[in-house]
Amino acid sequence: MKAVILAAGEGVRLDPLTATRPKGMLPIGGKPLLQHIIESVAATGINDIVLVVGHKRERIQSHFKNGGDWGVNIQYVVQENPRGTGDALLEAEHVVSGECIVINGDRIVEPDLIKRLIERHQTNGQACLAITEVEDPTQYGAVMIEGNRVIDIKEKPKEHEIQSNLVNVGVYAFGPDIFAAIRRTNHYGELKLTDTLREFIDDHLLHAVHYDGMWLELSRPWDLLSVNSGILAQTDSVIADPAVVSKGATLGDPVVVGEHSRIQPGARIFRDVVIGDNVTIGANTVITNAIIFEDAVIEPGSVISDCIIGSGTTIGPLNSIEGGRTDVRVDDELYTDVKFGGLVGDNVETAGNVTIEPGTIIGNNVSVESGSTLTGRIPENAHVFRG
Amino acid sequence: MCGITGYIGDNESASVLSAGLKNLEYRGYDSAGIALIGDDVTVHKQEGTIDGLTIPSNADATHGIGHTRWSTHGEPTDANAHPHTDCSGDVAVVHNGILANYHELKEELNGHIFESETDTEVIPHLIEEAIADGADLRAAVMRALDRLEGSFAIAATHADYEGIVAARQDSPLVIGHGDEGMYLGSDVTAFVEYTRQVSFLEDGDVAHLYDDDIEIFNDGERVTREVQTVDWDASAAGKAGHDHYMHKEIHEQPTALRQAISGRVDDLAGNASLNIDLDDGFLQTIDEIHIAACGTSYHAGLYAKELIEPLVDISVRVDLASEYEVYDGHNTQDTLVVAVTQSGETADTLSAIRRAKASGMTTFAVTNTVGSTITREVDDSLFIKAGPEIGVAATKTFVSQVTALALFATYLGRLRGTISADEGADILEDIRQLPSAVQAILDEEAQIRRLAAQYSDSKAFFFIGRGLAQPVALESALKLKEISYAHAEGFAAGELKHGPLALVTENTPVLAFLNQSAAPEETRNNVKEVESRGAPVIGLATDGADESFCKHTIDIPELGRLEPLVANVALQLFAYHVANEMGRPIDKPRNLAKSVTVG
């Protein structure tokens, strides 16, 4: 059986990080989100993986190549334009031709769930969908069941529409009849897999498989920090072999330091910090709960908390990203009281003594003059003068 | 370049050999063939692609040899394809390289029937004669080798004798030790999906491969060759969803660069840590550096000259390896000769190094290939750690070569006291930022693709730059001409008015390097010269600089001395997309081979 992973989405709510990379390449616990999914699939004994890729797909292909490093064969299928998950799966039809496991490329689940879906599908020959219970289903696809049979799916139900706290996990087992069902689906705009399933259940059995294991989903920038902490909690700290940690630097736990990164004397890196490859952490910098992407430089003396720093970015000396809870607006929705010190995009340069207030989102290629205080959303390529 | 593959073991020989041929495809070829040896010998060979080759079915085959041919002696025809056989059809031979004395040998073998125009075909007939005199296969190959002059690697089989006998003289040959048999290849790529345990044959070696053992002889003595583990994995050799290896390799550059600099940047000390074995005292006192290289590696050498001369206060001479000569009167004691070669097998570069050694000079190689011939011949080597490169047009290895040479320049400057720790730290900071700067260019691929589409039917393309950007102008032009077959030329910008300006028209786009570190003010004047002739100008300009007088600009992140190198990546993408628009076979350009192991 092959596993199809849908990884073509643009992840616009994670902008600016997803302007230059697909969502699946966002690092979690020191490795890309997609790598967690591929490792889960490989752990079930599936060797053939089909990756449906689109937006910035070269990043995915350069990292996973043909899958040899994970003991799997990866085939790539391209969805040129984002036309929904159903359309994405249809793109994979010519290489799947039969039963398959389908996984949304933005969820981390345990291998055991994938195994159970395969077993269930192979026992009864019917399509299966994994469900899990959440407190607030309004952001998900709510699933109504009778016994083990799915009777309805409601995408992002309003408060008054909630009939069930069970939601779609985004992991499925299908037979070959799914492709014809997708082609038949009535839809406007994007063709979502759930649109197909809502029609499919009229004349097919769709089995719900209950799941209460780890389910980590990434849709807004601060999710990256909480998902990262969730993954780090299960693993030991990893300091890459070619990394250079100076004497006099302090590393807490859990912490991941990537290859060929340099931690200068006096730097203090507390918990829940992931440092990518080829990063420089300057002397006397203090970092807590942060993800620092590859090739970044943190100059000496900065304090960095609860935040994400993009690739190739230089944070000048004595910058302050204080962290903590705040209200953030993303994609015209206001999220209140989230723990989010800020997001700094790729190739940003800040000079000395810059203050970044909680919840600030700085676009790619922004340059910031010394002594500035940043708040809210800074568009890409902006030059920030000190007012 | 020709490729050899061989297999003896429990697996089905035909499928292992055809996989080997596919893996060798990247070396460039015009014909291919396979011989399978069971109760008798089955040979299939033909001019054309490997996909078009019918693989012989021979169910009782225990072993076999295969070959991809890149024509030197005789045109690409079915008859000239390897393997070649003797009059009886029992002996089969594949061969890489050139036999200098095949005319004499062919005359001497006048009773034999020759079916091809190749030099190779004398070998099976020599083996046939020795076997008729009572020799076994191995002894017969050794007797034939005694008669051969030139550079070669061969593999031979016989219907009545066990095993494959292979020999190396100046042309690489690698043995793979697998769980299910022994493998033979011109390079590791031939069998890397089956085993990573390899031993490299040395000049004069004759190896006899059995299904679970190998015997190696040199000069009549039994010898052993160390078994090494190579870390190139088979997955790195696939196209991984890209349409071409070249495109994949362009996108691998940030990762390749991180590998190239990993562990080599000591930012606190402001120095490069390179594990150089050459004596410090010698490097402090040398008064000249010669760089010998071919093609893209030559352009990396030219870039290195622009880096080393100002940082190290030493004179650097860069020669095409095929033109490299050492004349009397040269102070050979105080000269370091640096060979730059991706494969470590380039015949012209090897022969330049041999001339340098013969005249008493110390030699140094900058290469991608651990265990390659050049690493065994020079006094010390620096590896660029770029990983396998399959596309015939070099991309990531150029960038990694220049990076390794920039680290070397920093190391020399610090050793000789010509740059301070602070200056060293500044250069290292630029080197360290290379991966993200290159990634920023890759992120702008869509813009570059549009430009390529707009200009792909131009009459010619000219690339102009000064200083550090001049070698990059040459390299960018080479890339475009190699894969698109378009007329592309690189010029020192100041030279335009001394001749090449006559070629410039409104149908010849000019790509101009206006990087901060490459005298942009002066190049701007040259841009105006070509614009007044109506040529569309694509400027490669430092991000943030106002170059609005250019028709188009591609922004290059500011990166000091390494900025032109980053600009090169933009033009790799430009060359790729122009060639793609023109429908060229990008990974296998006509007439070209990856590493040229003939002189």
Comparison of pLDDT for A185 and B596, the residue scoring more: A185
Closest CA to A310 of B560, B540, B443: B443
Reduced to 3 states (helix: H, G, I; strand: E, B; else coil), residue B463 is strand
Output the pLDDT for position B47.
Answer: 86
Whether the pLDDT of residue B443 is over 90: the answer is yes
H and E: helices and strands count for chain B: 16, 27
Residues of B in Cβ contact (< 8 Å) with A78: 241
Q: A275-284, B217-226, B439-448, B459-468: lowest mean pLDDT where?
A: B217-226
Output the pLDDT for position B92.
Answer: 94
Identify whether residues A192 and A50 lie together within a single domain. yes
Cβ–Cβ gap A246/B255 under 8 Å: no
Whether the pLDDT of residue B189 is over 60: the answer is yes
Residues of A in Cβ contact (< 8 Å) with B262: 242, 259-260, 278
Comparison of pLDDT for B2 and B95, the residue scoring more: B95
Identify whether residues B350 and B393 lie together within a single domain. yes
Q: A57-71, B227-241, B388-402, B412-426: lowest mean pLDDT where?
A: B227-241
- Read off the pLDDT of residues B90-102 as tens digits, 9 standing for 90 and up: 999 999 888 888 8
Identify whether residues A214 and A226 lie together within a single domain. no
Share of chain A above pLDDT 90, in %: 73
Instruction: Using the 3D structure, point to which of B385, B418, B439 is the last residue of a domain.
Output: B439
Output the pLDDT for position B593.
Answer: 67
Domain that holds residue B163: 3-236
Q: Rounded CA gap, B96 and B342, in Å?
A: 19
* DSSP-derived secondary structure for B98-117: EETTHHHHHHHTTTSPP-SS
Q: What is the average pLDDT across A125-150? A: 91
CATH of the domain at A374: 2.160.10.10
Cα Rg of chain B (Å, integer): 25
Identify whether residues A340 and A288 lie together within a single domain. yes
Residue of chain B with shortest Cα separation from A311: B436
Burial of A30 (0-12, 13-18, 19+ CB in 10 A): buried
Identify whether residues A278 and A212 lie together within a single domain. no
Identify whether residues B229 and B143 lie together within a single domain. yes
Residue B597 forms part of a structural domain? no
- Read off the pLDDT of residues B248-261 as tens digits, 9 standing for 90 and up: 999 999 999 998 99
| Residue A349: band (very low, low, confident or very high) from pLDDT cuts 50, 70, 90 | very high
Cβ–Cβ gap A280/B235 under 8 Å: no
Nearest neighbour of B433 by CB, restricted to A62, A312, A346: A312
State how many domains chain A has.
Answer: 2
Domain that holds residue A212: 2-219
Output the pLDDT for position B595.
Answer: 63
What residues form DSSP beta bridges with B69? B31
Whether the pLDDT of residue B235 is over 50: the answer is no
What is the predicted ipTM? Answer: 0.80
Q: What is the average pLDDT across A251-261? A: 92
Q: Who contacts B420 (Cβ-Cβ below 8 Å, separation ≥6)? A: B270
- Read off the pLDDT of residues A38-59 as tens digits, 9 standing for 90 and up: 999 999 999 999 999 999 999 9
What's the pTM value of the predicted model, to 2 decimals?
0.78
Interchain contact A232–B (C-beta under 8 A): no
Interchain contact A61–B (C-beta under 8 A): yes
Q: Do residues B451 and B580 make contact, with C-beta atoms less than 8 angstroms apart?
A: no
E-state strands within B105-186: 150-158, 164-169, 174-178, 181-185
CATH of the domain at B115: 3.60.20.10
Residues of A in Cβ contact (< 8 Å) with B255: 62-63
Whether the pLDDT of residue A232 is over 60: the answer is yes
CATH of the domain at A113: 3.90.550.10
Identify whether residues B204 and B262 lie together within a single domain. no
Interchain contact B234–A (C-beta under 8 A): yes
Output the pLDDT for position B543.
Answer: 86
For tokens 């002996």, the residue is B91
Q: Rounded CA gap, B174 and B181, in Å?
A: 14
Share of chain A above pLDDT 70, in %: 100
Cβ–Cβ gap B268/A260 under 8 Å: no
Identify whether residues B351 and B499 lie together within a single domain. no
Catalytic residue (one of B2, B305, B550, B588): B2
- Read off the pLDDT of residues B4-28 as tens digits, 9 standing for 90 and up: 999 999 888 888 888 888 888 767 6
Q: What integer best gives the mean pLDDT of chain A?
A: 92
Residue of chain B with shortest Cα separation from A260: B262
Whether the pLDDT of residue A103 is over 90: the answer is yes
State how many domains chain B has.
Answer: 3
Identify whether residues A228 and A210 lie together within a single domain. no
Q: Do residues A86 and A191 make contact, with C-beta atoms less than 8 angstroms apart?
A: yes
Identify whether residues A152 and A168 lie together within a single domain. yes
Cβ–Cβ gap A262/B248 under 8 Å: no
Q: What is the average pLDDT across B553-559? A: 94
Nearest neighbour of A69 by CB, restricted to B233, B247, B252: B233
Q: Which long-range contacts (CB under 8 A, 24 or more apart) does A299-303 make?
A: A299/A352, A300/A264
Other CB atoms within 10 Å distance of the CB of residue A212: 9
| Residue B594: band (very low, low, confident or very high) from pLDDT cuts 50, 70, 90 | low
Q: What is the average pLDDT across A80-94? A: 90
Does an H or E element contain B358, and which?
helix B347-358
Interchain contact B557–A (C-beta under 8 A): yes
